Chain A
């Protein structure tokens, strides 16, 4: 059924909140454009022609490409080893390999700064700038490539590769010509997520002082106070993100022809590793060691030097984090429900547009989104600026897309017939949703809420720009202590964050039975 005029009155309870949500994502971004265009022509030319812009663009692209390359070299063999070989404990290894995605980038940067260099736990020279950002971002984002690749390997139809072998191809060429094309969609979707993370990253690059757009925006906003230039930099970053989405969309469209059906029920015969097995274990354990064990070891070590009298501050930050993330997650679920409902039940242009907007709010680099909301709220909602409700609202707009996935999935499990049955028994569309769909949906809603919650707890730039004065969360404490090189003070905050999100992600991965 499509969205048609006769349906509208009954659907208003879904359409209105969905429209408000869409507006909440789109309006600030539009206002950002207006704001940037406000500049005098003379100043505008000066801004656009600054040589600094090109340098920032070069830096951002270099980081993006470097991370994509490094994550490919990590994720590809890892996905292959944990699916197609006779390694023992593949499921456990895969879970461990996925866990680094729980660590926020700024915690990674903090560990790198605090643990290395003179006086660090690890006797290594300190890596800053490009090398440091590349290492931290690659080690923390490769799971976004590893997970879809692994799923693709598992779903692969082994008979295609076998067919290629019977047609006279060597194992390597069979892999390249028969298997690789089937993995491309997974590879592309993974690249998109990694790319969005790199473009959206603010914590890592600013702590490691590598000048990308995000870092420059923050400098302009907080130090130089040139807000028009900050708006322009945010626009550049938005354009770059838009370009990434466009390239991904174009490539995927061309690929969709090459995509084949679901894999057969048969699993491929595992490759015997033989004498290579120890090396394979080493390769698989290396990222676990670098991205999980070492950081945790360093965090525990640093936390033991934490001055006891600051315990009060730790509890306060924990409470602040929970008080922001909890309501924001509830709000995000509340926003995701009508959007998912419209998208699944009434697939039509407006419904798709609203859903796209929700994803846009997630894809937009959070710093640019935060800046857009600063401008927008100062102009349109001045009573909200600098208050907690604004932070909750913007966190919800950003993380709503995280809730959308599980809720959509659960909604697909509730047949439309059930709602129709409720309608013929005298319920309005809203009544049918509340009495039939929602009770069957709560698992999905809970999972979506959990995802949004953990996202909001880890979130840094939105909180940094939009939280009320003096409202410090776990995330902002780690950031500000690290900026001032107070590594011991930052440790327990970072440790708490890391443990909290790792536990969350671990539970999620196991319960989803993704493996």
Chain B
């Protein structure tokens, strides 16, 4: 179920659609590819309406989540499938070369590893020279170790080919690192579109703020360039007035020995190697807990009294103010 999606992808860019499973992102891809028909709305490619064109006449490449390689054809046969003309084998070979798979051209999909299948699928989608290539959770079937490396490679191949790409994923790290721009979807709606930095640093809704990494949601009173909250005054990224809900990232808070300013008690400590996240209960408002990101060397343990300092900016969110929001993951 998709509602009121208005999305524009610019030539040559990589746009990632991010959302929890079931939010409609795959359906959106299938509508764009022509594999499913919309009840209303239009799909345009380079200014031309293609809403009613069958998929084979759209010139849009598709990389399926499970790759959907043809099991009866070799890697080369798969890549040549969408090509026509005398030189199709030559062109298929070049497409395989681009993804570094020439060595495996005579293997059947069943004899290739997940990462290799992924590259053949990409070569197959890119070989006919589509103006747009759609990728449906392209890295989700790869194991974690392979994922980062493959991601970088695919990005390189896409950029070299100069193809516009639209990818959907539920993995926020993937979207942030892979895309030029990203859009966050929820319940069939597109909530926010922008560069990864914009969306991460200036989320517009509580959902976007929480979906892209952890954040503290704090109610407050806007006073222009800053807001009054239970942590004291917090600088705002954009001026705002009146009651509001703030998103304050854990890295915008720092701990120090108890002294001036708001104080709290460490409830939990989550050591992750490269950083350290504390969960701190505020003394002034015992029902409220906040997340604080510290350097791995921070000395505090559960039960310690600490003081809190705001070192970053908060972002005022849109929408109604929830009554008792707490810091969440």
State A431–B34 Cα separation when bound (angstroms).
Answer: 16
Q: List the A side residues contacting B62 at CB < 8 Å.
A: 420-421, 424
A426 touches B52 (CB 8 A): no
* B64 engages A417 (CB within 8 Å): yes
Contact indicator B61/A6 (Cβ below 8 Å): no
Map CB proximity to B onto A409-423 as digits: 1 under 8 Å, 0 otherwise: 000000101101111
* Cα of A423 to Cα of B59 in the assembled complex, Å: 10
**Number of B interface residues in the complex (CB < 8 A):** 28
Complex interface: chain A residues within 8 A of B52 (CB): 6
Closest beta carbon of chain B to A421's beta carbon, Å: 4
Main secondary structure of the interface of A (DSSP, over half): helix
Chain A, 421-453, CB within 8 A of any chain B CB: 421-429, 431, 435-436, 439-440
From A1, A10, A422, A429, B81 is in contact (CB under 8 Å) with A422
**Which B residues touch A436, using CB under 8 A?**
70, 72
Q: CB of A4 within 8 A of chain B? A: yes
Q: A417-B66, A421-B62, A436-B70 are in contact. Are A6 and B82 (CB under 8 A)?
A: no
Taking a contact as CB atoms under 8 Å apart, the answer to whether B56 and A421 are in contact is no
- In angstroms, Cα B64 to Cα A415, docked, is 12
Residues of A contacting B70 with CB < 8 Å? 418, 421-422, 436
Whether the Cβ atoms of B72 and A425 lie closer than 8 Å is no
Contact of B124 with A by CB under 8 A: yes
Q: Which of A423, A428, A431, A440 contacts B72 (CB 8 A)?
A: A440
Given contacts A1-B36, A420-B62, contact A10 B128 (CB under 8 A): no
The proximity string for A residues 1-19 relative to B, scoring 1 for CB distances below 8 Å and 0 otherwise, is: 1001010001000000000
Q: A415 to chain B: which residues have CB within 8 Å?
A: 66, 68
Cβ of B69: which chain A residues have Cβ within 8 Å of it?
Answer: 421
**Which residue of chain B has its CB nearest to the CB of A6?**
B37
Chain B 153-173, CB-CB to A under 8 Å as 1, else 0, gives 000000000000000000000
Q: Could you tell me the distance in whole angstroms from the C-beta of A111 to the nearest C-beta in chain B? A: 46
Please give, as numbers and ranges, the residues of chain B lying within 8 Å of A427 by CB-CB distance: 56, 81-82
- For residue B163, give the distance in angstroms from its CB to the closest CB of chain A: 14
Contact of B54 among A4, A423, A435, A439 (CB under 8 A): A423
Interfacial chain A residues near B60, Cβ < 8 Å: 424
Say whether B243 faces chain A, with CB atoms less than 8 Å apart.
no
Residues of A within 8 A of B33 (CB): 420, 424
Which residue on A lies nearest to B66, using beta carbons?
A417
B237 at the A/B interface (Cβ < 8 Å)?
no
A423 proximity list for chain B (CB < 8 A): 34-35, 54-56
Task: Check B35 against A420 for contact (C-beta < 8 Å).
Answer: yes
Given the known interface contacts A421-B70, A424-B125, A425-B124, the answer about A435 and B81 at a Cβ–Cβ threshold of 8 Å is: yes
Q: Give A440's nearest chain B residue, CB to CB.
A: B72
In the assembled complex, the Cα of A387 lies from the Cα of B68 at a distance in Å of: 47
User: How far in angstroms is the closest Cβ of chain B from A141?
Assistant: 39
**Complex Cα spacing A277 to B55, Å:** 65
Closest chain A residue to B136 by CB distance?
A417
Cβ of B71 within 8 Å of any chain A Cβ, yes or no, is yes
Min C-beta distance of B153 to chain A, whole Å: 21
Using a CB-CB cutoff of 8 Å, which residues 18-76 of chain B contact chain A?
33-37, 52, 54-62, 64, 66, 68-72
Which residues in A have their C-beta under 8 angstroms from that of B66? 415, 417
Given A425-B124, A425-B128, A440-B71: A420 and B37 interface contact (C-beta under 8 Å): no
User: B84's closest neighbor in chain A, by CB?
Assistant: A426
**Other-chain residue from A418, A428, A440 in contact with B56 (beta carbon distance below 8 A):** A428
Q: Say yes or no: A424 contacts B61, CB within 8 Å.
A: yes
A129 and B84 alpha carbons, distance in the complex (Å): 68
Residues of B within 8 A of A1 (CB): 36
CB-based nearest B residue for A4: B37
In the bound complex, how far is the Cα of B135 from the Cα of A227, in angstroms? 66
Partner of A421, one of B34, B64, B72: B64
Mark interface residues in A74-93 (1 if CB within 8 Å of B CB, else 0): 00000000000000000000
Which of A10, A422, A425 has most chain B Cβ within 10 Å? A425
Nearest CB of A to B124, in Å: 7
Q: Complex: how many Å from CA A6 to CA B35? A: 11
Closest residue on chain B to residue A438 by CB atoms: B72
Distance between Cα atoms of A415 and B72 in the complex (Å) = 13
A425 CA to B123 CA in the complex, in Å?
12
Q: Give CA–CA (A422, B82) in the complex, Å.
A: 7
| Beta-carbon nearest neighbor of B55 in chain A | A423
Contacts of B58 in A (CB 8 A): 424
Cβ–Cβ < 8 Å partners of A440 in chain B: 71-72
Bound Cα distance A431, B55 (Å): 13
Indicate if the CB atoms of B56 and A426 lie closer than 8 Å.
yes
Q: How far is the CA of A1 from the CA of B34 in the complex (A)?
A: 12
Across-interface contacts of B55 in A (CB, < 8 A): 420, 423-424
Q: Given A424-B125, A425-B124, A10–B54 Cβ distance below 8 Å? A: yes
Contacts of A417 in B (CB 8 A): 64, 66, 68
Nearest residue, chain A, Cβ from B65: A417
Which residue of the partner chain A has the closest CB to B80?
Answer: A425
Cβ of A213 to closest chain B Cβ, rounded Å: 49
Q: A418 and B68: CB pair below 8 A? A: yes
Give Cα A395 to B56, complex, Å: 38
Q: Assuming A10-B54, A426-B56, A427-B56, is B37 touching A421 (CB within 8 A)? A: no
18 A-B pairs, CB-CB below 8 angstroms?
A10-B54, A417-B64, A420-B64, A421-B124, A423-B54, A423-B55, A424-B35, A424-B60, A424-B61, A425-B61, A425-B81, A425-B82, A425-B128, A426-B56, A426-B128, A427-B81, A435-B81, A440-B72
Other than the given A424-B58, A427-B56, A439-B72, 20 more pairs (CB < 8 A) read A1-B36, A4-B37, A415-B68, A417-B66, A418-B70, A421-B68, A421-B70, A421-B124, A423-B35, A424-B55, A424-B56, A424-B62, A425-B81, A425-B124, A425-B125, A426-B57, A426-B128, A428-B54, A428-B56, A429-B54
Interface residues of A (CB under 8 A from B): 1, 4, 6, 10, 415, 417-418, 420-429, 431, 435-436, 439-440
A-B residue pairs, 3 tightest by C-beta: A425-B82, A417-B68, A424-B62
